[in-house]
Chains A and B, each alone.
Chain A
């Protein structure tokens, strides 16, 4: 579905990503783990078009049997229209817009008449959002903002959902709710690429994972295997 092929990305003069190679198959949940500054967020921002690679290719196909297109030079708004939805780091809800307006922005490119219906199904997924639909999103708690950010990302009816640190700063119970929803969203056919500091949860959720260190992919494989890998255990899972 998504092939990131040997991309090099610079931010200003800093060489952030070197030869990063990531492959996501249709229907998978892929985790990207690594320490702060390893380049996880940069990878996601490059996939969604906010940054452009200096070298390498990013190929994307909206579904099985769909034509593959090269997206690395497209602007974000065009990438969104191909079915990629990026839920940014720090949630990025529009704090001065109401909850419902945030959801409407998520559906910005849609022209069909099922938008209202999808808003209702987001409300069913997270009933608190319906209660607060007319409030400014800035008044929500962190957990509620994450629910809103996730709901907003789903409003574009993505084929590939990209999540940047959804657990950041949230209470364990809220994280569990969010991760359960992610599993459910995945079983409904949405492919997920998730960046997580919390490696335990990320490896538990995902089918496969990539480990990023100082801008390079150093390890990848089935998440169950990585969990048992001594290096991963030592560096990311807190084991000896």
Chain B
């Protein structure tokens, strides 16, 4: 096992981590503002992947335009999910919202199977994106670089939005105290809708990347990455955006290293390993790595 091999694994972990991060951010933002886990969030990854397939292979649009429309589709789906499964449940017991979003998730998966068939589809990015680049001992495709750069750009844009803009301040205020936010004149329906739109747009982009990276998509593909991104959000401290990003990179890197550095016989335990990491971190830090203690909310 030489240095080149480890560097290659680290690069793979970074790519996987940045995809998890885009999904985990949405989980965390949505949880932060409505205190509910959106179980349908992972399925937006699937919708993003299929939208990419349609736009790129069938319509033949250039990549930046595809990415833009996939982002918009994700936003639209987020708004739709909020409107049908979260808004009518506002004020209802938490478990009602969980079940509603679980229902949406199952519905989206089955709708996918029904209309798109359960058969996995090959997904190939144009050849210029498949070109292999060599950087010393590490080799990667152009699409890998695009994934990392896009993810990085979106994360910076998101943090700017949340920290510096009026909408971002309104989102943080609403997440902290809905009633007081309303007393300040914030239209919480619009703010919550924007949160769903942004989080879901990022998840759809992750779907585009997933297709580009692994080359195969199917209607149930969103389930496992959705679950793992949720784990990443919990590891980082659910509700915290930097936490979600940190958790996603920790998870992506450790998952790839686990598979890459141990004998192949262990590699089918990768999911067990992921959840093992979650349990250990939560025992040591029940609020996650960057999570705020709920108790100290004045």
Contact = CB atoms under 8 A, between A and B. Distances in A.
Are these two chains actual partners, yes or no?
yes
Interface of A: 48-50, 75-77, 80-81, 85-86, 88, 92-97, 101, 104-106, 108-109, 138, 145, 152, 156
Contacts of A48: 183
B173 A80 contact: no
Nearest to B182: A76
Contact of A80 (B179, B183, B292): B183
B183 A108 contact: no
B182 A77 contact: yes
A97 B172 contact: yes
A92 to B, nearest CB: 4
Contacts of A145: 298
Interface stretch (B20-28, B59-67, B184-192, B274-282): B184-192
Given A105-B170, A108-B166, A95 B183 contact: no
B177 interface: yes
A156 to B, nearest CB: 7
B184 A156 contact: yes
A143 to B, nearest CB: 13
Contact of A50 (B166, B176, B179, B298): B179
Given A80-B185, A81-B185, A88 B176 contact: no
Contacts of B297: 95, 138
Given A95-B298, A97-B176, A138-B296, A50 B183 contact: yes
Contact of A109 (B173, B177, B185): B185
Give the one of B169, B173, B185, B186 with max A CB within 10 A. Answer: B185
A165 B167 CA distance: 30
Given A50-B179, A88-B180, A94 B172 contact: yes
A174 B287 CA distance: 35
A88 B172 CA distance: 18
A97 B173 contact: yes
A81 B182 CA distance: 11
Contact of A75 (B166, B169, B182, B298): B182
Contact of A104 (B169, B176, B188): B169
A88 B185 CA distance: 13
B89 to A, nearest CB: 18
A104 B170 CA distance: 10
A146 B231 CA distance: 39
Given A104-B169, A105-B170, A94 B185 contact: no
Interface string B184-212: 11111000000000000000000000000
B177 A92 contact: yes
Contacts of B170: 105, 108
A47 to B, nearest CB: 11
11 contacts: A49-B182, A75-B187, A77-B182, A80-B183, A86-B183, A92-B177, A92-B179, A96-B176, A96-B292, A108-B186, A156-B185
Contacts of B183: 48, 50, 76, 80, 85-86, 88, 92
Given A50-B182, A81-B185, A94 B177 contact: yes
Contacts of B166: 104, 108
B172 A108 contact: no
Nearest to A145: B298
Given A85-B183, A97-B169, A138-B298, 10 more contacts: A50-B183, A77-B186, A81-B185, A88-B180, A92-B177, A94-B173, A101-B172, A105-B170, A105-B173, A106-B184
Given A96-B292, A105-B169, A88 B182 contact: no
A93 B177 CA distance: 9
Query: Which 5 residue pairs are nearest across A and B when measured between Cβ atoms?
Result: A80-B185, A92-B180, A109-B185, A76-B182, A108-B185
B182 to A, nearest CB: 4
B178 to A, nearest CB: 10
Nearest to B186: A108
B174 to A, nearest CB: 9
A76 B188 CA distance: 10
Contacts of A81: 185
B28 to A, nearest CB: 14
B180 A94 contact: yes
A105 B181 CA distance: 8
A49 B180 CA distance: 12
Given A95-B297, A138-B298, A88 B187 contact: no
